[in-house]
Structure 1
Amino acid sequence: MASLPSLSDIQSSASNLDSPLASTLSVLFEHSPILVSTLEPQLHAILKSTPLSSYTQLVDMSLEEIFKWDIPNQSEFISGHPRIGENSNLSKLSAKEQGALGVKPTPPEVIARLAHLNALYEARFPGLRYITFVNGRSRAAIAEEMEGVLGLEHSLSPDQPNVETIKPIERTDAKWLSELRRAVEDVGRIAKSRLGSLGVA
């Protein structure tokens, strides 16, 4: 299981790609280049004058900075998180979270449906990835949630509706921007849940 650097190390270390702050961000939010290239130096500058009293505070500070970014950068941040239902190339915490999506093994038809729903969602919302705070729910429940977001009837079809029939929503559209904000907020909720899994706050 991943562990976090101490708050004092995060506060006092120099800013670089391998700093205690960078490694903490990668554990809490999933590693992505924009975390270390953009968020790490922004937070490092803030921490020069702001005492860090908790990891939860660090998550809140991170979200505050991310919401100041332009839309392409926020979209890149979201894309660093694994897709719902993925089982490969997961961090240890993501693997634990994905494995916790239900006590019983997920039926293969649900896994196939999730893969198709991910493709549909990314066709509908170009540049976004479906993110949700699972919070112990099953993959089947998440599939139904995704169908609701996409306005689809419940189904276990692995290929319907056809991805080519999905009309994309422009990145300037209020619905697209609302999905982006929801995704960023849910990444923050996931990060705070990870703090609980790690026994810190």
Structure 2
Amino acid sequence: MAAYKLPPIRALSSLPTAELATILDHLFEPSVPLHTLSVDLLRDQAFSSYSDLVASIGVQLAYLAESSSTSDTKWLESILGAHPRLGEKKIDSTQSQAEQAQLALHADTGQDKLSELNALYERTFPGLRYVVFVNGRDRSTILEDMQARIDRDDIGFERTDAIKAMCDIAADRARKLAA
């Protein structure tokens, strides 16, 4: 099977909804709430690049993070929660599999610590999943970042950091998937 390639950015307005959802799935993670939030944006707004598209979605996500509405918060959490846990054995997204490959852990090399931190993170920030742009950083650096974010214990900063990481990941994927 051939690797997925993003269509030309100027073609978005003419694509069917299903293809726009597929683009979002490849840039971010499969997420029906993200489709609902952003498919119309892809269809209705002209973008000069995929980086601009990702930045616009980042604005949408930031709006949800800044909203005082509980439903907006839940919506954001469902989008951020589409990312797989670090070190998870079953990862559906081809992009996430590749990105996490360097963090592939064996039981004797830190899987227990990662599982423990994932659980602690999700207890500290109910509804969220730790999202980070791995970008070549080693496992110990990622674990330190995760612990620091848990220790900071600030849900507002955490949502902001998760959105930034999600958009950094999407921009990196866009560069790799450009046609």
Give the TM-score normalised by structure 1: 0.76
Aligned equivalent of 2:166: 187
Q: Does structure 1 residue 137 correspond to structure 2 residue 137?
A: yes
Q: Which residue of 2 aligns with 1:176?
A: 155
Match of 1:36 in 2: 35
From 54, 57, 63, the equivalent of 2:58 is: 63
Q: Within 5 A, what are the aligned runs for 1:98-177?
A: 98-101=100-103, 106-109=105-108, 110-151=110-151, 175-177=154-156
Matches within 5 A, 1:4-23: 4-14=6-16, 16=17, 18=18, 20-23=19-22
- Specify which structure has the higher proportion of helix: 2
Residue of structure 1 in register with 2:92 after alignment: 90
2:26 corresponds to: 27
For structure 2, which runs of at least 5 residues remain unmatched after alignment? 65-71
The Cα offsets for residues 114-142 of structure 1, whole Å up to 9 and x where unpaired, read as 11111110001111111111110122321
Counterpart position of 2:69: none
For residues 160 and 85 of structure 2, the distance between their equivalents in structure 1, rounded to whole angstroms, comes to 17
Task: Give a deviation string over 1:149-187, Cα, whole Å, max 9, x none.
Answer: 2239xxxxxxxxxxxxxxxx7xxxxx1111011101110
Give the % identical residues.
Answer: 33
Change (3 A) 1:118 1:177: same
How far 1:85 sits from its partner (Å)?
1.1
1:4 positional shift: 1.3
Bigger Rg, structure 1 or 2: 1
The 1:90/1:138 distance shift into structure 2, 3 A limit, reads: farther
Paired with 1:177 and 1:11, the residues of 2 have a C-alpha distance of 34
TM-score, normalization by structure 2: 0.84
Question: Aligned pair count?
Answer: 169
For 2:133 and 2:140, the matched residues in 1 are separated by 14
Name the structure 2 match of 1:73. 75
CA shift at 1:199, angstroms?
A: 4.8
CA distance in 1, matches of 2:151, 2:56: 34
- Structure 1 runs of 4+ aligned residues shifted over 3 Å read none
| Structure 1 unaligned spans of 5+ | 153-168, 170-174
CA distance, structure 2, for counterparts of residue 127 and residue 7 of structure 1: 33
Q: Report the Cα distance in structure 2 between the residues aligned to 1:100 and 1:192, rounded to whole angstroms.
A: 20
- Partner of 1:136, secondary structure, is coil
